[in-house]
Amino acid sequence: MMQKKAAVSNIVKRKSRLIPRLVITVCFVLVIGVLSFSLYIFLNSPAHNAFSVRSLYKQWLKYDYQGVYNTSNRILSVKPFNNTALMFKGYSGFYLAVSQTDPTKARDYLDEAIFSMRVAMQNSKQRMKPQLNYMLGKSYFYKNTLSSYYYYADLAIKYLAAAQKEGYRADDISEYMGLSYAALGMTMESISAFTEALLVRESDTLLLSIAEQYYKIGQAAAAEQYLYRVMTRSKDSDLILRSRLLLGKIYTDEGKLNDATTEFTTILEKNENSADACYGLGVIYEKEGDLIKARAEWRKALHIQVNHPDALKKMAEYNK
């Protein structure tokens, strides 16, 4: 009888010890569950996702460049060397820059974009470097167009050439390189790049650019062929007027003064504020020996554009 009582007592003692352990285990499981659920809710909450790398991709696919730019800045404020955020900030900064009408804002965006991409380049994976070089080249190209002097065309060529060498393919690389070579006065290299670009995508702007480069090296006949193509097919009135202007210069150089006059007067009928057309008419009158009419046209050019370099030079020459 005593043995039975002892056995029952031991069972009760073991149960009394198991109950607190069970309670602790249950509480622990509940705490872990609550924490896991809370973490899940946080990671999937709008507040968290609004400033995550995942959100960058979502915004990028929606072409929300301002959103990408803002999210990148938020991530970089916590992780300054996050390569994904640096690349996205660079890319979005570029597109925000080219959409600006204010040159100062455009330059600011480009400066930040270039800085971000160059930092990203230091630690980026090899497969990302061709695209970074391509975007850096385009950024320097546009930075060059916003500058008073041609300071950045060489860097545009450097990065675009690196992208090409690394196998990156984009329809506009050769055209950007051609324009950059032209800005540096490297005419033959420019023509070569433009000709390569024509094989990929023909455009009226490209045809005019090639004509301008041929004119610079004295190949007027080749320039005329491209100008005729622009004038007969283009629907862009500005490109047509620019083509007529260059054609007028070629006719003037060749002594075809009547044809040159037709081109310049046609331009003025469309745009009476073309200083270059007025200057061109002045040169024709000069060649015909009528300096009174010539100076009158050059004065018109200076009235339209006070710092027109060729008109200033002519007026200074005849006012000695």
Q: Which of these, 165, 110, 109, lies nearest to 134 by C-alpha position?
A: 165
- The C-alpha atoms of residue 8 and residue 15 are separated, in whole angstroms, by 11
Residues of the chain under the 50 pLDDT cut: 8, 11-12, 15, 18, 37-50
Q: Which of these, 210, 263, 213, lies nearest to 240 by C-alpha position?
A: 263
- The C-alpha atoms of residue 183 and residue 153 are separated, in whole angstroms, by 7
Q: Would the CA dihedral through 90, 94, 96, 100 be positive or negative?
A: positive
Q: Which of these, 248, 257, 301, 306, lies nearest to 279 by C-alpha position?
A: 301
Residue pair 90/116 in contact by the 8 Å Cβ criterion: yes
- Per-residue model confidence (pLDDT) at position 21: 56
Q: How many residues does the chain have?
A: 320
- Per-residue model confidence (pLDDT) at position 40: 46
- The C-alpha atoms of residue 162 and residue 320 are separated, in whole angstroms, by 52
- The C-alpha atoms of residue 25 and residue 217 are separated, in whole angstroms, by 88
Token pair 């080249």 in the structure block, residue: 137
Q: In this structure, which amino acid lies at residue 130?
A: P
Domains defined for the chain, CATH in brackets: 49-124 (1.25.40)
Q: Which of these, 17, 13, 84, 95, lies nearest to 51 by C-alpha position?
A: 84
Q: What are phi and psi of 319, to 5 degrees?
A: -105, 10
- Per-residue model confidence (pLDDT) at position 42: 39
* DSSP-assigned letters across all residues of 25-51: HHHHHHHHHHHHHHHHHHHTSHHHHTT
